[in-house]
Amino acid sequence: MKSFDAIVIGAGQSGPFLAARMVEKGMKVALIERKFLGGTCVNAGCMPTKTLVASARAAHVARNGAVYGVNLQGEIAIDMKVVKARAETVTMNARNGLIGWFAGMDGMTVIYGHARFEGPKTVSVNGETLTAPRIFLNVGARPVIPDLPGINDIDYLTSTSIIHLDTLPRHLAVIGGSYIGLEFAQMYRRFGAEVSVIEHGPKLASREDEDISDAIADVLRSEGIDIHTGASDIAFAKSSDGITVATDSARIDATHVLIATGRKPNTDDLGLDTAGVITDKHGYITVDDRLATNVDGILALGDCNGRGAFTHTSYNDFEIAAANLLDGDDRKVSSRILAYALYIDPPLGRVGMTEKQARASGRKIMISTRPMSRVGRANERGETKGFMKVIADAETKKILGAAILGIEGDEVIHGIIDAMNAGTTYPALQWSVPIHPTVSELIPTLLGDLKPV
């Protein structure tokens, strides 16, 4: 049996950085990863997909160059092999960077293999048994495959496998109208494929307010994406030239199908029951406000704990754990103000409460909206789709939440994120003097238009 000061299972966006901090403190750490360092973000999520989004945007801008006085001869051609290779290069650069970083650390042992608990302080991997007083789980999540008629009879794609395509589908059917599905839908439409989105619920991006959801749908439809919401009785069948997707109200003849109906934690094969670690009905590891499980010495970080489903929340889990365990601090998950983005184009930046949540809270609230068509920078760039929206507490003057669906919305939202984290009231933020011409310069104006509801 090999002994360590700590064992980290999973090398996503929490575990490796926590392992490095512990090594800096002179600890002996084992980092176990069953596949690739970097987790979903580096290998099958943010980095490759946003690289693909960038290629798709380049195609879109080139295709619409005449609007800006830039005339290109002939049709815009997409070389999917180059597109794929570019995304792979970005991934491999990041992965190899981690490999090199860890190789230079005394006290760090990287083990590739599948770890399972043998007890609350021991795990087995590759036929060896390791033990440590502290074990950290950062095992991530994977795509959910729903049990739909005919799904096992077709060759479907997931968010993991679609990034490896080096040919362009003639017609891509996307099952699921949430964040991952919508990003791939617009991306492949811009590459030149026909795209249909099939969503069981009544609207796209169901977490958002109805006006945001409707605006997202308008953006996608304007680019020629076929959207089917409220779809039930979804079934699949092979056809002579691809796959038939049938619903209660439509029939789509596709060549490729992407299943984008959510994700589930990678916790079902870790032997958690052997260690006594409790999970909820969906398989997420139950943790307290400091990320500790019910078993002393075992913490769960990142997607597998159900307290966030983003790279930045996973990284913040590392920050919380490191602060509490190594720096004598007392950080809590509940102190985190949730923010995220949807990377369609234009992107959606979101922070805090939706309007629906704010109304349900019983607070006296104020709301302001502003169309991107009234933003100078958006007009100069010729990208006026979407709008800004902010919700504030009428009594405390604190900002409760905001949504910016529009050009650079994923960056502009950070001004509001920072203000909310600092506890700044909206009247104080109104007195900021932003740079002109930017999208962010409209935040004080947006706040100045807040009205009670």
- Whether residue 332 contacts residue 289, with contact meaning beta carbons closer than 8 Å, is answered with yes
Quick one: how many helices (H) and strands (E) in the chain?
A: 13, 24
137: left (phi over 0), alpha (psi -120 to 50) or beta: beta
Cβ–Cβ under 8 Å, residues 266 and 301: no
Where is 312: in which H helix or E strand?
Answer: helix 311-326
- Residue-wise over 258-287: b if at least 16 C-beta within 10 A, else e? bbbbbbbbbbeebebeebebebeeeebbeb
Give the list of residues 6+ apart from residue 72 with CB closer than 8 angstroms, or none.
62, 65, 66
Q: Which residues contact 417 (CB under 8 A, 6 or more apart)?
A: 337, 339, 351
Side chain identity at 90, as an amino acid letter?
V
The Cα–Cα gap between 198 and 234 comes to 9
Secondary structure in 3-state letters for 187-214: HHHHHCCEEEEECCCCCCCCCCCHHHHH
**Phi, psi (5° rounding) for residue 9?**
-105, 110
Half-sphere exposure of 319 (CA within 13 A, CB side): 11
The answer to whether 282 is a known catalytic residue is no
| Integer Cα distance of 247 and 43 in angstroms | 33
388 and 445 Cβ atoms separated by less than 8 Å:
no
**Residue of 282, 312, 414, 436 marked catalytic:** 436
* Three-state SS at 251: strand
Give catalytic residues, as residue numbers.
436
